[in-house]
Amino acid sequence: MTTILTFFTANLPASRKWLSILTILRTPDQQEIDEWGTEAPIEDFETGFLGKREDELRRFYRQWLAKTPGSLQGDVNEHMMAVLDERSAIDSTMILYWGMKKHHWDDYCEFQPGKPITGNGNLCEDGYIWWKWRVPFKHAFELFLKAEHCNTEVVELFCRPEYQGPDGVVDYETCNKILNLEIPDPLGIVGIGWAATPII
């Protein structure tokens, strides 16, 4: 099963509840990872990424993928990373980052030249477009699957301000109802005729 490389930017308390799709990288010099995801319980540890900015984490993520032999990468996904910060222990949320190479975006938009990057995506120094969402733990795996295997309309849906709470957390329940056609998309983008076509 695909797992998501996960960084802690704060020292969080031990936990008996954990998502097995997350693989913790505790320190920059860590030689081995949990091949099939980090299993609960998670014991206390001192993170080596305390206070790191997202650009630093993105850079390290790319460097780690480039220098770590495939046989030692386990089943880590090449397009998504996760961050647990000081809020995570308070409101049970995490930040998911999903990246796509710029030329893949250009290929996808071949017949829509000049199409702006969807949602909150930003073209970064590594040549990737990165999107990010703060999402409840309980919905992280589902959002990951939809971002990874669906099209830009789905990515855009999760980025819409009206589906972000005042605390910045994605209203996954409402987005999922739209995707399942239980309620209409007010913008008419996701709905009848919509197909989950992968963009990478």
pTM of the entire structure?
0.90
User: What is residue 84's DSSP assignment?
Assistant: E
- The tens digit of pLDDT for each residue in 111-148 reads 888 788 989 999 999 999 999 999 999 999 999 988 88
pLDDT band at 62 (very low <50, low <70, confident <90, very high): very high
Above 50 in pLDDT, residue 22?
yes
* b/e code 67-79 from CB counts within 10 Å (16+ = b): ebeeeebbebbeb
pLDDT band at 197 (very low <50, low <70, confident <90, very high): very low
Q: What mean pLDDT is reported for the chain?
A: 90
Angle at 65 between CA 169 and CA 70, to 5 degrees: 125
pLDDT band at 198 (very low <50, low <70, confident <90, very high): very low
Q: What does the pLDDT read at residue 185?
A: 95
Q: Which of 156, 164, 163, 141 is nearest to 194 (CA)?
A: 156
Q: What are phi and psi of 181, to 5 degrees?
A: 60, 25
Q: What does the pLDDT read at residue 106?
A: 87
Above 70 in pLDDT, residue 95?
yes
Q: What does the pLDDT read at residue 158?
A: 96
Give the C-alpha separation, 18 to 88, whole Å.
12
- The tens digit of pLDDT for each residue in 138-185 reads 999 999 988 888 788 899 999 999 999 999 999 999 999 999 999 999
Q: What does the pLDDT read at residue 143?
A: 93
Q: Which of 63, 54, 65 is nearest to 4 (CA)?
A: 65
Q: Which of 70, 83, 71, 63 is nearest to 5 (CA)?
A: 83
Q: What does the pLDDT read at residue 192?
A: 54
The helix (H) or strand (E) run that includes residue 23 is strand 22-24
